[in-house]
Homo-oligomer: A and B are copies of this chain.
Amino acid sequence: MKIVQVGCSGHFSKALAAIASRDDLCLAGFCKGCEDEDSSWFISRYKDKYGFAVYDDPEEMFDRLKPDIAIVNSYFYINSRISTSALERGISVYSEKPVATTLDELYTLRNVYEKSNAHFASMLESRCNPAFYSACCLIRDGKVGEILMVTAQKSYKLGNRPEFYKHRETFGGVIPWVGIHSIDWIRWLSGQEIEPVYAFHDKRHNRNHGDLETAALCVFKLENGGVASNNIDYLRPDGAATHGDDRVRVAGSKGVVEVIGGKARFIDSEGSWEIPLENERNPFELFVNQVSGGPACHISAEDSFRTTEVALKARDMADTCF
């Protein structure tokens, strides 16, 4: 299967690992996604190992190589346009999240996808994380009962981010970039559609990162009448042991399941215990299998679009909420 990659500003690493591990996968081409993107480090680090040809223009690469799959992860604002170009050519797309940074571009992308015969999935890869996936399996088994409340957290170290993170137009906002994972957990774990009902974001103390928000908080209504919230921040201090502090807690009529610190715990009427974890799955490998006619991968195109839509609506709401 012939694969190309556009851009190197996102989470391509699991895709590259899958390609390296399978003889039937080949990274045939690479192209940066936009003029400003620095891709020299990527080429010098990976060209020899993967043997890809380097192109200057994504569409030229698509037309020359006619790949089966494009991995799209350039600067966030440009990804939807690159994905749209690929889908128009019948190339399946494995896209960085958010799959678009404006609602208009999202709807254009979705329309092109719906007219294509290609596959599409976003890099909401924490669905493959053993703790989150094991929690999901337990919920699907009915152990939590009816879900009444979901609370989630994304907390990251800020560090020093590239210039394009500092501008809303190129970055998109902390809710679509970071918060989208927790929005996805809420939709995926609850198995319910959600709508934002309150959202807030704040860029103070961002250490000269321009528009980049350091804190955000959203509330969503679940379609069953329940509620969910997520708190998002770039305030995790440098002294923390890990880069991120991802959490989700799902409270239902029969039990409470929680992911925290890379572990999953469950409490019900019988007791409280750590859930044995499922094996790690490689999300790109699942996508490749789907493109090859195998079972659906970790996330559908519809979920990829809808989670992005919710994240963008929440961001837009945060721009206007008190």
Contact = CB atoms under 8 A, between A and B. Distances in A.
Given A202-B227, A227-B200, A251 B268 contact: no
Q: Is the interface of A mostly helix, strand, loop or mixed?
A: strand
Interface string A137-155: 0000000011011010101
Contacts of A198: 197-198, 219
A167 to B, nearest CB: 21
A253 B238 CA distance: 12
What is the interface residue range for chain A against chain B?
35 or more
Contact of A269 (B221, B239, B254): B239
A215 B149 contact: yes
Contacts of A252: 235
B253 A205 contact: yes
A272 interface: yes
Given A145-B205, A197-B322, A217-B229, 8 more contacts: A149-B233, A149-B235, A197-B321, A215-B226, A229-B229, A236-B256, A237-B269, A239-B268
9 pairs of A and B residues whose beta carbons are closest in the complex:
A198-B198, A239-B271, A205-B253, A235-B251, A149-B215, A238-B269, A237-B267, A148-B215, A200-B227
